[in-house]
Amino acid sequence: MKILAMYDITCDKKRTKVERLLASYGYRVNYSVFEIECSASQYRRIIEELLRLTSKEDNVRIYPLSADVLKRSFRLHYDKGPFDAQELYF
> What pLDDT is attached to residue 31?
95
What pLDDT, in 10s, does the model give residues 60-88?
999 999 988 888 887 777 756 555 555 66
Residue 38: closest CA among 9, 14, 70, 4: 4
- Three-state SS annotation for 56-75: CCCEEEEEEECHHHHHHCCC
| Residue ranges per structural domain of the chain | 2-66
- pTM assigned to the model: 0.83
Which residues on adjacent β-strands are paired with residue 59? 8
> What pLDDT is attached to residue 6?
98
Q: Which fold has domain 2-66?
A: Alpha-Beta Plaits (3.30.70)
